[in-house]
């Protein structure tokens, strides 16, 4: 089962019986490093029983008790990218290339300026490419819009701060949301929980944690 970039989900079981699963989180930029400018592959419906994809995912998950070596991880990412492209049908149906260099420059700029005000005018200036072409290519190559990519990186930063005991109100400002309400809204839309609910879940999974859980 594959959850694509920008696809909302709550991660909850469908019944009270719950479920167990192994999961690998892969930055779409890693896939793009292999594809080099072709559109990000998508699996229709998000579910596949294709043995090529099964083998690639199995190799990526590996032995969950062992840490990947750098070369081993890069090999696994390569196999996954190729399998995704083949199973999605894009390898046969479309070889259209986008301006990967400009999109990657925009992505790296966003990732390194999370606390700045960034808009399409900013990205146009730093890439020298038309803002709407950058927006189109970014979606095709990374599976999400520049704005959503920025929000997701800010939320990742916010979760780290929350896990280290920072209060949600302070986290909201530090991660460049306009206020705590704005932060809570994006957090719940993305993760299916408020920051305080997420912290309680985190502490339940890690009972030795001493992180505080201020109300959001």
* Among 98, 150, 155, 99, CA closest to 127: 99
Beta bridge partners of 97: 38
For the chain, percent of residues with pLDDT exceeding 70: 85
Helix (H) or strand (E) holding 98: none
Tell me the backbone φ, ψ of residue 97, rounded to 5 degrees: -105, 140
CA distance 45 to 43: 6
All CATH 1.10.10.60 domain ranges in the chain, comma separated = 148-205
Q: What is the pLDDT, as a whole number, of residue 209?
A: 46
Q: Give the SS3 label for residue 155.
A: helix
Residues sharing a CB contact under 8 Å with residue 124, sequence separation 6 or more, in sequence order? 130, 131, 134
Q: Is the pLDDT of residue 13 over 60?
A: yes
CA distance 79 to 55: 9
- Dihedral sign for Cα atoms in the order 116, 154, 64, 75: negative
Helix (H) or strand (E) holding 137: helix 131-142
Q: What is the pLDDT, as a whole number, of residue 174?
A: 94
Q: What is the pLDDT, as a whole number, of residue 102?
A: 95
Q: Is the pLDDT of residue 58 over 60?
A: yes
Q: How far is CA 164 from CA 155, 158, 183, 210, in A?
A: 14, 10, 17, 9
Beta bridge partners of 38: 97
Residue with the larger pLDDT of the pair 176 and 216: 176
Q: Which CATH architecture has domain 148-205?
A: Orthogonal Bundle (1.10)
pLDDT digits (tens, 9 = 90+) for 91-106: 655 566 789 999 999 9
Supply 64's token pair.
């969950």
State the Rg of the chain over Cα: 19
Tell me the backbone φ, ψ of residue 92, rounded to 5 degrees: -90, -35
Residue with the larger pLDDT of the pair 206 and 139: 139
CA distance 54 to 80: 9
Query: 65 falls in which pLDDT band (50, 70, 90)?
Result: low
For the chain, percent of residues with pLDDT exceeding 90: 37
Largest CA distance in the chain: 53
Q: Is the pLDDT of residue 69 over 80?
A: no
Tell me the backbone φ, ψ of residue 69, rounded to 5 degrees: -80, 160
Contact 60, 25 (CB under 8 A): no
Give the count of alpha carbons within 13 A of 35, CB side only.
30
Average pLDDT along the chain: 84
Mean pLDDT computed over 17-22? 73
pLDDT digits (tens, 9 = 90+) for 42-54: 888 888 999 999 9
pLDDT digits (tens, 9 = 90+) for 153-183: 999 999 999 999 999 999 999 999 988 999 9
Say whether pTM exceeds 0.85: no
């Amino acid at each position: 089962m594959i959850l694509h970039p920008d696809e909302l989900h709550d991660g909850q079981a469908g019944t009270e019986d719950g479920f167990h699963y192994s999961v690998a989180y892969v930055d779409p930029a890693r896939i793009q490093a292999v594809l080099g400018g072709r559109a990000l592959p998508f699996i229709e419906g998000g579910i596949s029983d294709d043995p090529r994809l099964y083998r690639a995912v199995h190799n990526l998950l590996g032995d969950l008790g062992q840490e990947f070596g750098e070369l081993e991880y890069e090999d696994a990412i390569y196999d996954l990218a190729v399998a995704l492209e083949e199973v999605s049908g894009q390898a046969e149906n479309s070889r259209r290339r986008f301006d990967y260099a400009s999109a990657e420059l925009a992505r790296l700029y966003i990732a390194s300026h999370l606390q700045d005000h960034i808009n399409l005018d900013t990205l146009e200036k730093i890439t020298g490419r038309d803002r709407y072409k950058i927006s189109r290519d970014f979606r095709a190559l990374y599976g999400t819009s520049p704005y959503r990519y920025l929000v997701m990186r800010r939320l990742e930063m916010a979760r780290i701060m929350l896990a280290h005991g920072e209060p949600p109100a302070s986290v909201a400002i530090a991660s460049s949301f306009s206020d705590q309400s704005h932060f809570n809204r994006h957090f719940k839309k993305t993760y299916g929980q408020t920051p305080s609910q997420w912290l309680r879940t985190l502490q339940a999974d890690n009972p030795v944690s001493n992180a505080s859980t201020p109300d959001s």
